[in-house]
Amino acid sequence: MSGALSDRALDAFSRAFGGAPDFVARAPGRVNLIGEHTDYNEDIVLPLAISVETRIAARARRDGVVRLAAADYGGALDEFRLAAPIDSSAHLWANYVRGVIDGMRRAGFDFTGADLAIAGDIPQGAGLSSSASLEVATAVAVARLAGDAAPDMTALARIAQAAECDFVGCKCGIMDQLVSACGVEGAALLIDCRSLAFRPVLVPEDLAIMIVHSGVIHGHVEGEYNERRRQCEEAASALGVAKLREADEAILARGERRLDPTAFRRARHVITENRRTFEAAEALAKNSLRRLGRLMRESHQSMRDDFEITTPDIDRLAALMNAVLGENGGARMTGGGFGGAVVAIAPRPTVANLAREVSAGYRRPDGKPTEVIIQRPAAGGSCV
């Protein structure tokens, strides 16, 4: 698919701007195995980069103008001058690019303009970080255009995250951008979202990652996602800690009377999810599939009951997948919630049967055929 995706970016570039680009930048989407809504609490997460991605065909300009073409929006075009202020209420998809470029220039990158044609194959609204992929691919392209062929990828991830928070309005954590920038082929990343230190956790070759889009499109730029972050901050304050990462189950039990029931449930999810994530990384490293599957099921239950970010369709899909898997793996919703996808980890020989059972037993609410994506961990952002 990557070759075809580059071809789409190149075709969009030729149609919009004529000629050929200087290079093509890429950045992957991601799926989070476990550790949901813990990143902005500065906790631990266990995501991996996946092979669906964003590609940007790029050519330098020297006149302070940026021209954009989006292959996935019917060749939609946008143009702006670097000196012009960013209107965060307009431009929609282009604001991801505008925000990253602004952040890169503030960070000192000598960027003087570009023609950029964008193509991607990440299912949008599936909770697979199509936005972070676009942001990181933009940052990689800008760095290369500014003469930095080997940038600090963690720094690029920080800039990409700030763009989503400041110019798009989603108060996200760092996980999506960091794994898109720094993903390791064949491994998940156990990320400490406070220090941004991470270590690869190899995914055994005999295991497969399965992603199934529920057909429920999520949109958490505003509203519920940001509300969950606010609730976590209020719970941390009531418990006397700066972030919920500093609390454990004993602190939560002692402070329960200081929390309203909703805040207590939100905090309980984050605190127990952090423990589950550490245990899941250990289980994955040891190829202890039964233990890993149990932790994934517990995570889904916590998201459903305590954090309240699943939907009835998501719950039905996860229940079906877990019933088919039994103790031979596990499934849970992945991503910010309120729709999106379910991720499962299972022995490679069982994947075909699981896919058949899901296709036969789950009906998407949008009427589209159930789409099953089989993945192995991919590498982070780069130029190709």
* Strand 187-192 versus strand 198-202 pairing type: antiparallel
DSSP three-state, residue 358: helix
* First CA to last CA distance, the chain: 14
DSSP one-letter string for 10-43: HHHHHHHH-S--SEEEEEEEEEEEE-TT-GGGT-
**Integer Cα distance of 249 and 267 in angstroms:** 9
Selecting among 43, 115, 176, 306, the annotated active-site residue is 176
Would you give the DSSP letter of residue 194?
T
C-alpha distances (whole Å) from 240 to each of 235, 248, 252, 352 are: 9, 12, 10, 49
Alpha helices in the chain (DSSP H): 2-17, 93-106, 130-145, 153-163, 175-182, 224-239, 249-254, 261-285, 289-302, 312-325, 351-361
Query: Would residue 176 show up in a list of annotated catalytic residues for this protein?
Result: yes
**Integer Cα distance of 175 and 189 in angstroms:** 10
C-alpha distances (whole Å) from 282 to each of 9, 191, 201, 343 are: 40, 13, 9, 19
35, 43 Cβ separation under 8 angstroms: yes
> Cα–Cα–Cα angle for 241, 275, 351, nearest 5°?
140
Which sequence positions are flagged as catalytic? 176
